[in-house]
Amino acid sequence: MSGLERGQKFMKALYGKGVFPKLTIYLRTLLLVFGISCSLLLIMFCILFFAEAKGWLDSQENARTVTLAAIVAGGMLLSLLMTVAINRLVMVPMRHILDAIKLVGQGNFDVRIETDDRSELGVLSASLNQMIESLGNLDKMRNDFVANVSHEFKTPLASIQGCAALLQDENLIPEERRQYARLVHSSAKRLSTLSTNILELSKLENGAVKVQPSCFMLDEHLRQALLVLQDEWQKKDIELNLELPEVKYCGSDELLMQVWLNLLGNAIKFSPQGGRVDVLLEKLPSAAVVTVTDQGVGISEAEQRLIFEKFYQADTSHKTEGNGLGLAMVKRIISLLRADIEVVSRPGEGASFIVTLPLTDQTG
């Protein structure tokens, strides 16, 4: 190993991953200054010893000049070494950090600060890398959201536009006119549901929705939700199997109603004509468990990981009504209520959504 390589190894041990990786910059600098000062003292001592041997220090004036020259040379060397050391220890990593922050400020979230150092600056760099990654994810989510919203708006708008153009034809027979008007109506309804859902979700995500607790009977609450959806389950001739013992719950009835409407709505929507939907309520010592089970198309394991994402729809053909925001809202509400939701399903074998609501002392 050459002298240079040995020196580099020593520097690496001092600054990087080597034997002192956990020493603070302060300690490393102290160690460095101490080492350099000792070496300089040794050099000065050698110079003086050499001068003495050569007889340069025979007069007092000569001795003073040589000592002064040794001190000046030593001081200059010390400053040079200190500058190099501080530059390597602090300035270079700081410059990397500043360059990265500048790039992030310009919207580049792919930038990462290289660091294998575990000192304060290394920790700072690692934290900044994490922050940049989160910002990048947020930026991607925002872009995806805008793309999804535009996509979801486009289809009903195109259908309204097309039908409106067709309705201008005076030769249309009444049945055709009615059909186009119905299409305009359903597309406008879809747009209205979409914008309401986006607003609701945004309020939920911004923390603008506060849980207004009230105590009510969960069994009654679930029956009310089924009543709201009566048209849907009757149209599909769904058989309802209800096991709803009396359970008192304290929480936000408005938010929880949205959970039931979404879960029950989906169970009905994804059930075959004449299918069966089970709604089961159980009271445990510290929780109430509601299970909504259907015998519909089911959800694969891969899809189960995605269904709570905004705009996710397993079937993108829009054969079933919806915009992929329902379960995202459910998830948000469930976390606001400090509850839990779980899905158990297999493709073709229906799905069960299990909601566990904590029961507080107030519930009695």
Q: Which residues bind ligand ADP (CB under 6 A)?
A: 262, 266-267, 270, 294, 296-299, 307, 312-315, 322-328, 351
Nearer to ligand ADP, 7 or 348 (CB): 348
Q: Least separation, in Å, of the C-beta of 228 and ligand ADP?
A: 16
Q: Least separation, in Å, of the C-beta of 88 and ligand ADP?
A: 54
Nearer to ligand ADP, 239 or 246 (CB): 239
Nearer to ligand ADP, 74 or 324 (CB): 324
CB atoms within 10 A of CB 172: 14
Nearer to ligand ADP, 52 or 315 (CB): 315
Q: Least separation, in Å, of the C-beta of 349 and ligand ADP?
A: 10
Q: Least separation, in Å, of the C-beta of 314 and ligand ADP?
A: 3
Nearer to ligand ADP, 216 or 308 (CB): 308
Contact predicate 85/104, CB 8 Å: no
Angle of CA points 114, 117, 120, to nearest 5°: 105
Q: Least separation, in Å, of the C-beta of 328 and ligand ADP?
A: 6
Nearer to ligand ADP, 323 or 356 (CB): 323
Q: Least separation, in Å, of the C-beta of 146 and ligand ADP?
A: 19
Q: Which residue is nearest to ligand ADP (CB)?
A: 322
Which residue has tokens 């925002």?
Answer: 142
Q: Least separation, in Å, of the C-beta of 220 and ligand ADP?
A: 23
Nearer to ligand ADP, 25 or 314 (CB): 314
Q: 3-state SS string over 95-163? A: HHHHHHHHHHHCCCCCCCCCCCCCCHHHHHHHHHHHHHHHHHHHHHHHHHHHHHHHHHHHHHHHHHHHH
